[in-house]
């Protein structure tokens, strides 16, 4: 044996020894268990499905953007606007599939693969273009640290099973019902199922492919898109110096990270509304750059793009109508002086406005046509007096509106709204409405620049202010009218629009510095302190949720949900296991039914019992109606009942409730005194008492 062969033999034996020692050691002293591997793999699959759908959306959106803009957009605009646009197209396509009864896993995988192949050429072109794209404005190191920290904290929550209220109430429950039926169905007495449902369609598709965590991650993706859009808005229209300050202002709002971890639609709504404004601002920028003699094809394409985004926003919430109104008025106002006065320029301006409105309404129309077909009311359950609607009547309309319960026209309260909004002391939902202090901190400066520094303001400053003011005015009218509308979350589109303005004002603060005192540096210190405390606050809240045990497989899904939802989830589990198949359970004072696997009928607006009393007056008549509806069980949420009795005691007829419990409801089980489930016992002409 020569030396070379011997050397290779020795090296081979050493390598085998290495594998033997490490393999035998870790086989005995395992660093992780099989459940850890399964948990990590599960999390990666959720992420991969969400990324897969994002990539398809980017490809589809980039294709449509190329048709509209003819390669007139930068790479970051294509990625941000294109992904959002693709999500909108995807959601409308899923809606069409659901309407014709194609909600099946095989169809979902087949269609997704086909869309992947269709999107691949656009994705390849973007990849090749990205190789020569340079990031010319890198963020400061502290900004990177802050954004990374809160982003990872929000992502860790987004990767958990859903526990958020509206997700369990309707954002995930409606898709679940549709998937169980294999199609979009009507005849379900949950008014929120009739709200515009673009995001619910995306949730449904992710649930078909993977599950509810992948669905949640789609909403998380919109926080990334929204952050990018705020950055682009500030950089393009207010100057590069204001871009990262605008992002910091946006990211300083704790509600942003909270919503990113939930299966809601607010981040998508804020994105589409700002995207519609962004496109119109691009049109105004082109119009003021010398192209005023006639509207070019590119300008018409930009108007169409703005209208598409406005229509997609109208596919998320009824309240989104503020944006098409504001954007349409901006378009009309700025189109009027583009040519000499006369009938022709007036007709020209009106034509642009009507084109915008027509496209926006066309894109939004599927949801309103669905409602008209299913309920007879295109904006169900609203405008009942005009359109009527299934399952609805004057009692429910008045109950839901809660008119006259708001703050009213109190001047002191109205003047203090920004302060009350920031403190969150009156918010109906505290955790998802925290705005943070920076917007209020900069508010006097924004007002000061608006009133007294008009000479050096960017051209679109007034348009942005108009957008923000309109949203704030609409939200204010809501809180004046009804206490149920005091939700800072509903003002998110306006707060997002305020972020670029505040970022620009922040970048202009060195103008106020003097040799004796640097005001801008003082503000910067305050901002850094605020961000530090915000990051600590968000971190502590995330630690309270404690996502790590579930993510690494030390905690099962059921254990995590029981830990987070307590008696509610335990009750749903017991309903699923203890009640026979075919049971129909009426919920009283509990709107959430996502984890119920039987025919559970939630108390969607906490009006089920008062409405029954209003309709039938007596326990016997209510029992008769339940019998005719096939009800087998009743769930009473005692904590929910106590909440209603504290807030609106006159709405609970305790005598009728006691008579129902005594004569028709036989206890099945009780969970921690919070939830009680009964068997509904009824015989014609013979009242069965629980004592029997």
Cα radius of gyration (the chain) = 28
- Say which range, 70-84, 301-315, 626-640, has the weakest mean pLDDT: 70-84
CA atoms of 253 and 247, how far apart (whole Å):
11
Measured CA to CA, the distance from residue 570 to residue 596 in angstroms comes to 11
pLDDT value for 8: 83
Helix (H) or strand (E) holding 173: helix 173-181
Q: CA dist 668 to 66, 210, 577, 675, Å?
A: 61, 35, 12, 11
Joined tokens for residue 351 = 């034509």
Query: Tell me, what's the pLDDT at 292?
Result: 47
- Return the higher-pLDDT residue of 134 and 61: 61
How are beta strands 633-637 and 584-588 bridged, if at all? Answer: parallel
Residue % of the chain over a pLDDT of 70? 95
Q: Which pLDDT band, with edges at 50, 70 and 90, does 488 fall under?
A: very high
CB-CB contact of 203 with 390 (8 Å): no
| Confidence at residue 1, expressed as pLDDT on a 0 to 100 scale | 63
What does the alpha-carbon distance between residue 639 and residue 489 come to, in Å, rounded to a whole number?
A: 25
Q: Does 377 or 344 have the greater pLDDT score?
A: 377
Q: Which of 225-239, 424-438, 617-631 has the lowest mean pLDDT?
A: 424-438
Minimum mean pLDDT among 21-25, 280-284, 328-332: which range?
21-25
Q: Which two tokens stand for residue 426?
A: 């009156």
Out of 287-291, 324-328, 558-562, 636-640, least confident range: 287-291
Mean pLDDT of 205-225: 98
Q: What is the pLDDT, as a whole number, of residue 691?
A: 39
Q: Would you say 327 and 306 are in contact if contact means Cβ atoms under 8 Å apart?
A: yes
* Largest Cα span, the chain: 105
- pLDDT exceeding 90 applies to what percent of the chain? 73
Write the CB contacts of 155 (distance below 8 Å, at least 6 apart in sequence).
220, 260, 261
* pLDDT for res 293: 45
Computed over every residue of the chain, the mean pLDDT equals: 91
Mean pLDDT of 441-446: 94
What does the pLDDT read at residue 686?
46
Put residue 517 in one of left, alpha, beta given phi > 0 → left and psi -120 to 50 → alpha. beta
- pLDDT higher at 619 or 67: 619
- Alpha-helix residue ranges (DSSP H) falling in 458-566: 461-481, 492-507, 519-545, 548-551, 557-565
State the burial class of residue 377 (Cβ atoms within 10 Å of its Cβ: 0-12, 13-18, 19+): buried
Examine the pLDDT at 617 and tell me if it is beyond 80: yes
pLDDT band at 73; cut points 50, 70, 90:
confident
Q: Which of helix, strand or coil describes residue 598?
A: coil
DSSP H helical segments within 411-491, as ranges? 411-415, 417-423, 438-452, 461-481
User: pLDDT at residue 689 above 70?
Assistant: no
Residue 458 has pLDDT above 90, yes or no: no
Q: At what angle do helices 266-287 and 212-238 cross, to 10 degrees?
A: 30
Least confident piece of the model among 352-356, 448-452, 508-512: 448-452
Residue 135: per-residue pLDDT: 65
CA distance 578 to 675: 15
pLDDT on residue 628: 93
Asked whether 406 and 480 are in contact (CB, 8 A), the reply is yes
Report the alpha-carbon distance of residue 41 to residue 446 in Å, rounded: 48
Is cis: bond before 381, omega within 30 of 0?
A: yes
pLDDT surpasses 90 at 357:
yes
């Amino acid at each position: 044996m020569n030396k070379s062969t011997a050397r290779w033999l020795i090296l081979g034996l050493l390598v085998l020894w290495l594998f033997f020692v490490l393999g035998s050691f870790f086989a005995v002293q395992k660093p992780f268990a099989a459940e850890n591997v399964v948990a990590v793999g599960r999390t990666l699959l959720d992420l991969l499905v969400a990324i897969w759908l994002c990539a398809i959306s980017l490809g589809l959106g980039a294709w449509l953007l190329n048709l509209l803009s003819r390669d007139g957009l930068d790479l970051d605009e294509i990625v941000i606007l294109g992904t959002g646009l693709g999500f909108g197209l995807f959601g409308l396509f899923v809606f069409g599939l659901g309407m014709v009864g194609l909600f099946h896993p095989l169809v979902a995988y087949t269609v997704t693969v086909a869309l992947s192949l269709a999107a691949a050429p656009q994705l390849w072109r973007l990849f090749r273009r990205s190789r020569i794209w340079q990031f010319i404005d890198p963020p400061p190191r502290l900004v990177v640290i802050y954004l990374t920290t809160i982003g990872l904290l929000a992502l860790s929550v987004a990767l958990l099973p859903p526990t958020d209220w509206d997700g369990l109430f309707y954002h995930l429950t409606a898709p679940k019902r549709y998937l169980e039926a294999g199609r979009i169905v009507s005849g379900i007495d949950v008014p929120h199922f009739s709200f515009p449902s673009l995001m619910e369609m995306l949730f449904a598709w992710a649930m078909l492919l993977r599950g509810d965590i992948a669905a949640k991650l789609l909403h998380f993706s919109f926080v990334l898109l929204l952050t990018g859009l705020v950055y682009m808005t500030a950089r393009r229209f207010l100057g590069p110096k204001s871009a990262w300050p605008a992002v910091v202002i946006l990211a300083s709002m704790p509600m942003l990270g909270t919503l990113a971890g939930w299966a809601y639609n607010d981040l998508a709504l804020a994105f589409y509304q700002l995207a519609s404004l962004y496109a119109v601002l691009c049109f105004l920028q082109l119009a003021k750059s010398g192209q005023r003699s006639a509207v070019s094809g590119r300008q018409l394409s930009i108007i169409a793009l703005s209208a598409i985004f406005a229509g997609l926003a109208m596919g998320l919430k009824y309240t989104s109508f503020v944006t098409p109104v504001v954007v349409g008025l901006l378009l009309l106002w700025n189109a009027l002086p583009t040519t000499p006065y006369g009938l022709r320029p007036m007709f020209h301006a009106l034509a642009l406005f009507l084109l915008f409105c027509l496209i926006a309404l066309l894109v939004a129309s599927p949801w309103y046509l669905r409602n008209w077909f299913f309920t007879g009311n295109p904006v169900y359950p609203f405008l009942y007096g005009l359109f009527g609607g299934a399952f609805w009547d004057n009692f429910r309309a008045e109950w839901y509106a809660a008119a006259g319960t708001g703050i009213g026209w109190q001047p002191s309260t109205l003047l203090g709204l920004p302060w009350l909004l920031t403190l969150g002391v009156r918010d109906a939902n505290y955790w998802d409405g925290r705005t943070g202090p920076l917007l209020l901190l900069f508010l006097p400066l924004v007002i000061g620049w608006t009133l007294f520094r008009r000479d050096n303001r960017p051209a679109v400053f007034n348009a942005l202010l108009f957008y923000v003011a309109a949203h704030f005015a609409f939200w204010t009218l809501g809180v004046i009218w009804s206490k149920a509308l005091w939700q800072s979350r509903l003002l998110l589109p306006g707060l997002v629009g305020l972020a670029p303005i505040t970022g620009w004002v922040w970048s202009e603060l060195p103008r106020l510095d003097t040799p004796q005192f640097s005001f801008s540096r003082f503000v910067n210190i305050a901002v850094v302190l605020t961000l530090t405390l915000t990051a600590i606050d968000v971190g502590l809240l995330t630690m309270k949720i404690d996502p790590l045990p579930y993510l690494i497989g030390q905690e099962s899904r059921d254990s995590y949900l029981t830990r987070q939802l307590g008696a509610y989830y335990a009750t749903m589990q017991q309903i699923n296991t203890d009640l026979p198949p075919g049971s129909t359970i009426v919920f009283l004072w509990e709107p959430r039914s996502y984890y119920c696997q039987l025919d559970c009928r939630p108390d969607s607006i906490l009006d089920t019992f008062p409405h029954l009393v209003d309709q039938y007056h007596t326990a016997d008549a209510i029992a008769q109606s339940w019998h005719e509806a096939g009800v087998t069980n009743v769930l009473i949420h005692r904590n929910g009942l106590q909440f209603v009795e504290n807030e609106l005691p006159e709405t609970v007829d305790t005598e009728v409730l006691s008579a129902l419990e005594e004569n028709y409801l036989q206890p099945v089980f009780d969970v921690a005194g919070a939830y009680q489930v009964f068997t509904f016992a009824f015989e014609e002409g013979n009242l069965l008492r629980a004592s029997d």
